[in-house]
Amino acid sequence: MSGGTLKKNLPGLLQASLNPWLVRIKDHPERLAFILHRVTGVIIILYLMAHVYVTNTPTRAGWEAWTQVMAQFGNNIWNKIGEWIIAGCVIFHGLNGIRLLLVEFFGIGVGRPVHPKPPYRPVSLYAGQRLMLLIVFGLAVIGWVWAGLIIFG
Amino acid sequence: MIKMSKASNIQVWQYITAILLIFFLGFHLAERIPQITGLTYHQSLDAENVYHNYSSYGWALWFLAAIALFHGLNGLRGIFLEWRQGKTYTLTVNALFWIVYLALLGIATWTVISLPALG
């Protein structure tokens, strides 16, 4: 893609891929799940890079430094809020990832192919994968609340 | 020369690492759940407990780092390769993927191998 084409398409790309609030999600929760999967994935990999560095603290600076770092995390409300957001990202990304594995990798819940008939609703909108999607959203909310109780408790 | 990776290869590796992550990351997260460990979240991060985790199954934590970093950075690579196309761009993204992956895996390996004994 040339630079000009990229510039021209960038607003649409951002709207379609990165900003869940600009996308019409009514009747399209799959689209919301796709976007959230990407957004949470990017947040998680950024966290993971920091996590790998922080968990190196005992090796780099000794166990006393580790205890200090953990005390800082445990006593700062903003760090706890950050951990809770990361936990929410991991829970949603993990649950939706399991759904994607079942649907895309193992072909579970995709339904049987059918002849197109009016009103031409694709199987994906009413077969098992729609139910799985709703279960993912439900469990993610429950899991996030539970993670909050653990982190702030 | 760095080989051009096919989009389908990237996706297959995402699936394989995702299946492994369900078990390894699931176990790692379970270590922080009070109802399972009997420790509060913050107690589970105490030096004694973390040292115990590393000395009991450091290899599993290293393997978890290896697959989680691969899965995350490979996903990021997929997003970047969808964004733009081109041979130089693809090779650059692929090279950066391996450089960042090996650097972070090096830090994780250092953590597990050279972890000092507790006080």
Percent of chain B with pLDDT over 70: 94
pLDDT average, residue stretch B91-104: 97
Q: What is the pLDDT of residue A1?
A: 55
Residue B60 lies in a domain: yes
Chosen from B13, B23, B88, B111 to mutate, greatest number of chain A CBs within 10 A? B111
Q: Count of CB contacts below 8 A, A vs B?
A: 83
In the predicted structure, residue A14 carries a pLDDT above the cut 80? no
pLDDT, mean over chain A: 86
| Gap between the Cα atoms of B45 and B59, Å rounded | 19
- Asked if A41 and B75 come within 8 Å (Cβ–Cβ), the reply is yes
Positive/negative CA dihedral, B23, A104, B90, A12:
negative
| Gap between the Cα atoms of B84 and A104, Å rounded | 25
Tell me which residue has tokens 């970093």. Answer: B69
| Gap between the Cα atoms of B11 and B16, Å rounded | 9
pLDDT, mean over chain B: 91
- Asked if B72 and A45 come within 8 Å (Cβ–Cβ), the reply is yes
Under a CB-based contact definition with an 8 Å cutoff, are residues A20 and A37 in contact?
Answer: no
- Helix, coil or strand: residue A96: helix
In the predicted structure, residue B3 carries a pLDDT above the cut 60? no
Q: H or E element: which one contains A28? A: none
Residue B21 lies in a domain: yes
Neighbours of A11 (CB within 10 A): 10
pTM over 0.90: no
pLDDT band at B4 (very low <50, low <70, confident <90, very high): low
- Asked if B110 and A153 come within 8 Å (Cβ–Cβ), the reply is no
Residue B118 lies in a domain: no
Residue B2 lies in a domain: no
Task: Report the half-sphere exposure of B29 (CA within 13 A, side-chain side).
Answer: 18
Q: What is the pLDDT of residue A127?
A: 74
More confident residue, A144 or A17: A144
Q: Which residue of A has its CA nearest to B117?
A: A63
Token pair, residue A19, equals 């900003």
Q: What is the pLDDT of residue B83?
A: 85
Tell me which residue has tokens 């006080």. Answer: B119
Among chain B, residues having any CB pair with chain A shorter than 8 Å are 15, 18-19, 21-22, 25, 29, 32-34, 40-42, 45-47, 50-51, 65, 68-69, 72-73, 75-76, 79, 83-86, 104, 107-108, 110-111, 114-116, 118-119
| Gap between the Cα atoms of B103 and B45, Å rounded | 25
- Cis peptide preceding A119, ω within 30 of 0: yes
pLDDT band at A140 (very low <50, low <70, confident <90, very high): very high
Residue B67 lies in domain: 7-113
- Asked if A62 and B116 come within 8 Å (Cβ–Cβ), the reply is yes
* Cα B96 to chain centroid, rounded: 16
pLDDT tens readout for residues B43-60: 899 999 999 999 999 999
- Closest-CA distance, A21 to chain B, in angstroms, reads 20
CB nearest B115 (choices: A53, A58, A98): A58
* Cα B106 to chain centroid, rounded: 11
In the predicted structure, residue B111 carries a pLDDT above the cut 90? yes
Token pair, residue B20, equals 């492994």
- Asked if A41 and B111 come within 8 Å (Cβ–Cβ), the reply is no
Q: What is the CATH number of domain A27-152?
A: 1.20.1300.10
- Asked if B40 and A153 come within 8 Å (Cβ–Cβ), the reply is yes
Overall number of domains in chain B = 1
pLDDT average, residue stretch A113-133: 79
| Gap between the Cα atoms of B66 and B59, Å rounded | 10
Residue B119 lies in a domain: no
CB nearest B18 (choices: A73, A90, A101): A101
Residue B1 lies in a domain: no
Q: What is the pLDDT of residue A24?
A: 65
pLDDT tens readout for residues B58-95: 999 999 999 999 999 999 999 999 888 899 999 999 99
**What residue ranges do the domains of chain A occupy?**
27-152
Under a CB-based contact definition with an 8 Å cutoff, are residues A106 and A53 in contact?
Answer: no
In the predicted structure, residue A62 carries a pLDDT above the cut 80? yes
Residues 6+ apart with CB under 8 A from B50: A58, A66
Chosen from B8, B40, B42 to mutate, greatest number of chain A CBs within 10 A? B42
pLDDT band at A2 (very low <50, low <70, confident <90, very high): low
Positive/negative CA dihedral, B92, B98, B99, B104:
positive
Token pair, residue B54, equals 């590393």
